[in-house]
Amino acid sequence: MEKSRNYGENDRFEFIKQIQDRSKVLALEVIKVCDKLPSKRSSSVISYQIIKSATSQAANYRAACRARSGAEFFSKISIVVEEADETCFWLEMLFEAKLIDVETFQKLFKESEELLSIFSTARKNAKLNK
């Protein structure tokens, strides 16, 4: 019986690490895309905003995973959800302003939406467990 409990806990930690890695990789991919944008005022503004939101999402998720209480986790994961949603918004702006191609948009947006869904579910579960 004890083995299955530890196994489940290991799965949980592995999942958390996987999401931390995915959010960091997304932030790095956003940085790479932004570094290739044309030197225009519009791309500079959007680039600044999306780099802030994507890196904040990754950093705050990492911080949420180290929360010392349920209330602290809920507070931090709420910030992560906001930043993840903002990242989706800025990706839409990059695409609709024709600053990135459809393939790049679809790849980044799909990952962004998946992470947003995971973070939103974590926040919902944290709220239910309060």
Residue-wise pLDDT for 21-55, tens only, equals 999 999 999 999 999 999 999 999 999 999 999 99
Q: What angle do CA 117, 15, 47 make, to 5 degrees?
A: 50
Q: Which of these CATH numbers, 3.40.309.10, 1.20.1440.60, 1.10.10.10, 3.10.20.30, describes 2-128?
A: 1.20.1440.60
pTM: 0.89
Name the band, by pLDDT with cuts 50, 70 and 90, for residue 130.
Answer: low
Give residue limits of the domains in the chain: 2-128
Mean residue pLDDT of the chain comes to 93
2-11 pLDDT, tens digit each: 444 455 677 8
H helices within 36-69, ranges in order?
41-64
